[in-house]
Amino acid sequence: GGNAPAPPAEIPVSKSLKLTLQTLTESRNEAATAALLRGLDAVERTVFEGCLSALVARRSKTGHLAVLRRWHTLSSSQLDLLRTGRGRMGAALREALLSTDGQLANNAYEFALAFSEFDVLPTLVNIAEQRDSRRAEPALMLITQLVKRLSHLLCGGRDAYERRDPKIVARTALEALERSVERYRNHRRDELVEAFVTLAGPTSPLLLHMIDAPHHPCYAAVMCALDNSENVGIVKLLAKLLETGEAPASIIGVVSHRTDAAFVSALLQLNADGANPMLRKNLAKIQSLAFLDPPHNIEELSAEQQAAAIRLFMYSGAEMDQKLAVAERLLSRGAVEGRLAACKLLTDAAGDHANQLILMAVADEDPQVQAAAAAQLRDRHIPGAMSKLLALAESPHPEVAAAAREGLADFNFASYVLRYDALDEASRLSAGQLAVRIDPEVVPQLRKELESPSRRARLRALEIIETLELAPQVADALVERLSDTEHLVRTAAAEALQHCDGADVRDALLASLDDRSMSVQRAAQSSLERLGVKAEIAGPQAVIEEEQP
């Protein structure tokens, strides 16, 4: 709009003017309004703006109407002075909206839009229902804008100037819209139905009745809004309807075929992995999700959305072939998060196609994806799976190696020990070598076995050390066994030490030449000879002679 008369420069507000304006603002006498109205004709900018602010602050419809009449003449800074009138000028706004004065009505529309004056929504609804009124279309447009903003607040959005609870604000608007929906046969305003749907929420009895009643007068308008509106309130409503109750076929259909970004974003915020049984039940009714079908590209979603999409699809009622097709696209071109989620989907999928996808994931460049796939290899009985697991068990990536070893758990050291006594000599060697290859705990476990209170366990550990040629890795533990209480254990330890080297080993074997058991003495003598030390057993004082090179 234009500008009020003003001097070329700012004129400081005097203390006396401030005091006068404050007195007039706080006065309950309507004469104060008249005085302030005269001030709107002042040439001085400070007087004009002071009176403008004072009129907005007062509870006077006459004063508020006067302010609204000047709306189109104010500068942007002067318009901002009127912001404090938000929520105060409802009576004047309603009268202005219904006024035959076109400029006043237009000013009221602009004020309501500029300051999100939600309180005028019931008045706007009544105007919008009058199809023969020239103000109906502007009213519909303003309703649409205000409802969109209110919906934004209801869905967690922020407005620095809105101090009220949006739920309380919405309640009055929703009551007016509900009544309007009931009069739909008279006005046929689909925009009012959409406004109602936007604010209704998933527990509205009227909304729930309409979406499940094809013969209801508003059914087509409701479904059109649900099908097409990208308003945050409606797309979140669709997602909530899947969580809060058994969704009718109409809602399942909408969810199945919508592909717009606003809807997809809202849908993918659902926690499909959560414990909501109603959500799982509704997802199972969905036979397809159009936004996952070509020409739409799931790989164009964000990494988090890719993972959410495949998780959601996993719980849907779609055919497994459809699910595998989406998983394949993600494994080929998706983000790491999407590829990981695709591997999870494959957990419940059997058959050649699923097996091929697992092999694809095993070859993935990301170790997390490799690990997720490796965890599934063993149970799939894929030809060559064992050799792949063995190779993966030696991966430089800890998570991959751990997953492969988990798949080879039947062949780890603990399993080997349990089966040891039942194995023949050849099987003991092959199974033991496999355990050494896949299980980093073999040597630590052997050390524990050597300290077992069970003589049989200690002897078995010594046999395993001999069979698998692991003596050099446990030489210190074998030296300790030379002091074992059981002569059979001491004998086996002395025999095993022939494969070890070092002064401590030779010294321990030399000491064993004085063992009280002849078998231990002979075993120690034999091992020393293997180590290049010639020693003779000669009672308490062994005769020692270094073997000549």
Burial classification of residue 497, based on how many CB atoms lie within 10 Å of its CB (0-12 exposed, 13-18 middle, 19 or more buried)? buried
Query: Residue 380: which of 415, 341, 343 has the closest Cα?
Result: 343
Chain centre distance of CA 119: 37
Question: Which whole number is the average pLDDT over 268-280?
Answer: 89
> Which band of pLDDT confidence, cut at 50, 70 and 90, is reported for residue 13?
low
Going 473 to 476 to 478 to 479, the CA torsion angle's sign is positive
Alpha-carbon span 443 to 301, nearest angstrom: 48
Tell me how far the alpha carbon of residue 302 is from its chain's centroid: 12
CA 172 from chain centre, in angstroms, equals 35
* Confidence (pLDDT) at 25: 82
Closest CA relative to residue 369, chosen from 334, 421, 416: 334
For the chain, give the mean pLDDT.
89
Q: What is the pLDDT of residue 253?
A: 96
Rounded distance between C-alpha atoms, residue 75 and residue 545, angstroms: 114
SS3 544: strand
In tens, the pLDDT along 180-209 reads 999 999 999 999 999 999 999 999 999 999
Specify the pTM.
0.73
Q: Which residue has the tokens 């002042």?
A: 42
Q: What pLDDT sits at residue 12?
A: 53
Q: Which of 161, 163, 173, 162 is nearest to 201 (CA)?
A: 173
Omega prior to 453 cis, within 30 of 0? no
What contacts 149, CB < 8 A, 6 or more positions away?
116, 118, 159
Helix residue spans in 82-189 (DSSP H): 90-97, 102-114, 121-128, 136-154, 166-182, 184-187
Q: Under a CB-based contact definition with an 8 Å cutoff, are residues 380 and 356 in contact? A: no
Residue ranges and CATH numbers for the domains of the chain are 1-115 (no CATH), 441-546 (1.25.10.10)
Pairwise CA distance, residues 405 & 398, whole Å: 10
SS3 assignment, position 287: coil
Q: What value does the CA radius of gyration of the chain take, rounded to a whole number of Å? A: 42
- Among the residue ranges 241-255, 290-304, 346-360, 532-546, the one predicted with the least confidence is 532-546
Supply the pLDDT for residue 439. Answer: 86
Pick the closest to residue 272 from 239, 248, 321 (CA basis). Answer: 239
Of the candidates 154, 341, 181, 306, which has an alpha carbon nearest to the alpha carbon of residue 240? 154
Average pLDDT over residues 285-297: 92
Q: Which amino acid is at 183?
A: R
Query: What's the pLDDT band for 3 if we cut at 50, 70, 90?
Result: very low
Reported as a pLDDT band with limits 50, 70 and 90, residue 139 is: very high
**Residue among 375, 316, 319 at smallest CA distance from 351:** 319
Residue 27 burial class via C-beta count within 10 angstroms: exposed 0-12, middle 13-18, buried 19 and up: middle
Render pLDDT for 488-531 as a digit per residue (tens, 0 to 9): 999 999 999 999 989 999 999 999 999 999 999 999 999 999 99
Mean pLDDT of 346-373: 93
Q: How many residues does the chain have?
A: 549
- Count of CB atoms within 10 A of residue 251's CB? 23
Q: What is the pLDDT of residue 276?
A: 87
Q: 34-87: per-residue pLDDT in tens?
A: 989 898 888 788 999 999 999 999 989 999 999 999 999 999 999 998 988 888
CA 106 to chain centroid:
46
* Per-residue pLDDT, 296: 87
Alpha helices, DSSP H only, in 201-302?
205-211, 219-228, 232-244, 249-257, 261-267, 277-285
**Does the structure show a pLDDT above 90 at 19?**
no
Question: Which pLDDT does position 544 carry in this prediction?
Answer: 39
Query: So what's the pLDDT on residue 29?
Result: 86
